[in-house]
Structure 1
Amino acid sequence: MVDPTSDLGEDVDEADAPSCASCGSKIVQSPTHRVVTWIEDGSVQTRHFCSEECKAEADDAW
């Protein structure tokens, strides 16, 4: 599997692509892709967003 968070985003098909945590869209080769990471209970957690706008909406909701 190709890393869906790679800078290049090449060769990631929709089945392997992450979904936006705000709107649910699949994120495929998107230059506006944002990832938020944090440590919870000793493991890395991530949330993917298709744009800064979706990230801002999620920030307001959480």
Structure 2
Amino acid sequence: MVDPTSDLGEDVDESDAPACANCDEPILQSPTHRVVTWVEDGAVRHRHFCSEECREEFGE
């Protein structure tokens, strides 16, 4: 997978793009891309969402 801090708008193949945690669609060149980050058991975790609506629907 691509580094989540990278510029996802360039040279990202669909197979390398992060998938939305809610709808599972690949996130490519999306200005609505959201990343939720938290620390759990001393490790940094994150989830990608294609939009604010998908983030809200995820329900966690």
Structure holding more helix per residue: 1
| Structure 1 unaligned residues grouped into runs of 5+ | none
- What is the count of residue pairs matched by the alignment? 60
**Match of 2:13, SS?**
coil
TM-score when normalising by structure 1: 0.82
User: Equivalences for 1:39-58 in 2 at 5 Å?
Assistant: 39-58=39-58
Give how far 1:2 is off: 4.9
| Structure 2 unaligned residues grouped into runs of 5+ | none
Report the aligned-residue RMSD: 1.8
**Match of 2:39, SS?**
strand
User: Equivalences for 1:1-62 in 2 at 5 Å?
Assistant: 2-58=2-58, 61-62=59-60
Give how far 1:46 is off: 0.5
